[in-house]
Amino acid sequence: MMDYIQFKTCRKCGTKTERSLDEETAAFVQTRQWSITCPNCNSKILNEGCNTPPLTYDLLKKWARNDSLQFIEQDEDIILADNNRLGLLLDIFDSDKTTEYKRGIIIQALCVLLYDNLASKEDNPESDRKIADRIVRELNERKNMVKLGKGQFIEPYIEKVVFPVIGFEIAWNI
What per-residue string of b and e applies to 109-121 under the rule 16 or more CB within 10 Å gives b?
bbbbbbbbbbeee
Predicted local confidence at residue 109, as pLDDT:
94
**Which residues of the chain are modeled with pLDDT < 50?**
150, 172-174
- How far apart, in whole angstroms, are the C-alpha atoms of residue 167 and residue 163? 6
- How far apart, in whole angstroms, are the C-alpha atoms of residue 134 and residue 146? 15
Predicted local confidence at residue 148, as pLDDT:
53
Per residue, the 3-state secondary structure of 104-143, as one string, reads HHHHHHHHHHHHHHHCCCCCCCCCCHHHHHHHHHHHHHCH
Predicted local confidence at residue 173, as pLDDT:
45
Domain map of the chain by residue range?
A: 4-50, 57-166
Predicted local confidence at residue 146, as pLDDT:
67
Predicted local confidence at residue 9, as pLDDT:
97
Predicted local confidence at residue 155, as pLDDT:
82
